[in-house]
């Protein structure tokens, strides 16, 4: 079968690899129909994702159709449309015992540490397959996974209706966060970015305020929009130079700052801004069994993923797709690689 492999940073190849066979553990064979391009995939391609190992078949936003099941399978059947959980965990370490397998000490993420979804078939355990909503096309269904990331971040933030929430970054991740944050009916939602078009779209989609951090002082403006106090939840979905310091400086006393980035580039921060306000700085990584929750929200039409993907490419044209991402075309929202 064909697969897309990142051999080493900045080297992408279409390779042939054996078609997987089901076994007692990986007891469901899925024919991949679509796999999304995430910012972390781009990071692996460019060598800026600290977690990745090479060579690697990437892709962790993975949807497809079950084409074969093993004799011990009880919950899944041939013909079902599914999305595959990207997290594999040991189940025994401290994090797993604390019900946080998404940060398992022996964590292996499909498409990062082990081969992922940019290939024609995958064999996985039945418990890692979740049924897709009937009305959702494969190309849009890849957005379920980034939505689980947003649900995880909101869980880590312990959102409440009294919160003033600021999301730094209005790209694909920020947009997913906005979809979930607004379900909590917070007091206000501030979206910060340097792109006016993305900010205006955020306002249409539920944000109450916008800050163009290129032309406005983000910290000053965030305080003005929150009566001088500062946001009570600040989510850094940008992970650019200075964004964490800005988040901490803008945050009000006794509030939560959520980090989601994977950059290993050094940046400025100081303890005073954290200690003096007694901030809770909380990382949010991947998702912790959130697929069922997100699929329920989609089925109940509380989250609309239709049309969330702006561009599609045949998966064998992955190089063109990644080149297009690198062009930073302003029309890009989300790209899906299609396998049919």
Residues 6+ apart with CB under 8 A from 227: none
Residues 6+ apart with CB under 8 A from 88: 107, 108, 109, 110, 114, 128
Cβ contact 279:256 at 8 Å: yes
- Res. 214: pLDDT tops 90: yes
Per-residue confidence band for 262, with pLDDT thresholds at 50, 70 and 90: confident
> What Å distances lie between residue 297 and 9, 180, 205, 293, 311, CA to CA?
37, 10, 17, 6, 24
Which H/E stretch holds residue 275? Answer: helix 271-275
Collapsing DSSP to helix, strand or coil, 309 comes out as coil
Q: Which long-range contacts (CB under 8 A, 24 or more apart) does 90-99 make?
A: 99/288
Say how many residues make up the chain.
340
Residue of 265 and 249 predicted with greater confidence: 249
Please work out, in degrees rounded to the nearest 5, the angle formed at the alpha carbon of residue 160 by the alpha carbons of 206 and 253: 105
Domains along the chain with CATH numbers? 2-143+305-338 (3.90.180.10), 147-283 (3.40.50.720)
**pLDDT tens per residue, range 278-321:** 999 999 999 999 999 999 999 999 999 998 899 999 999 999 99
**pLDDT tens per residue, range 92-133:** 999 999 999 999 999 999 999 999 999 999 999 999 999 999
**pLDDT tens per residue, range 59-98:** 999 999 999 999 999 999 999 999 999 999 999 999 999 9
């Amino acid at each position: 079968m064909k697969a897309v492999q990142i051999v080493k940073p900045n080297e992408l190849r279409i390779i042939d690899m054996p078609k997987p066979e089901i076994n007692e553990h990986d007891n469901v064979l899925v024919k991949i129909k679509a796999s999304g391009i995430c910012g972390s995939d781009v990071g692996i391609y460019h060598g800026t994702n600290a977690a990745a190992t090479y060579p690697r078949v990437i892709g962790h936003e993975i949807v497809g159709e079950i084409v074969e099941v093993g004799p011990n399978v009880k919950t899944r059947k041939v013909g079902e449309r599914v999305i595959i959980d990207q997290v594999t965990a040991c189940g025994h370490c401290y994090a797993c015992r604390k019900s946080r397998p998404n940060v398992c000490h022996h964590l292996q993420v499909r498409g990062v540490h082990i081969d992922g979804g940019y290939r024609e078939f995958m064999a996985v355990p039945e418990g890692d397959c979740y049924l897709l909503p009937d009305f959702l096309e494969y190309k849009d269904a890849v957005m379920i996974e980034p939505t689980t990331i947003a649900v995880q971040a909101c869980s880590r933030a312990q959102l409440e209706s009294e919160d003033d929430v600021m999301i730094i970054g209005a790209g694909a991740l920020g947009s997913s966060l906005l979809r979930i944050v607004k379900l909590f009916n917070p007091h206000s939602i501030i979206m910060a970015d340097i792109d006016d078009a993305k900010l205006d779209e955020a306002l249409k989609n539920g944000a109450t305020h916008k800050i163009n951090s290129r032309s406005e002082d983000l910290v000053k403006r965030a305080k003005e929009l929150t009566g001088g106090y500062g946001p009570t939840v600040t989510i850094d979905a940008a992970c650019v130079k200075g964004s964490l310091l800005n988040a901490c400086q803008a945050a009000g006393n006794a509030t939560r700052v959520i980090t989601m980035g994977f950059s290993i580039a050094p940046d400025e921060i100081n303890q005073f801004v954290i200690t003096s306000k007694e901030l809770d700085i909380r990382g949010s990584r991947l998702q912790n069994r959130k697929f069922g929750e997100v699929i329920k929200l989609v089925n109940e039409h509380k989250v609309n993923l239709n049309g969330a993907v702006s561009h599609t490419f045949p998966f064998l044209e992955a190089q063109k797709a990644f080149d297009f991402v690198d062009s930073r075309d302003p029309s890009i929202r989300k790209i899906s690689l299609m396998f049919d």
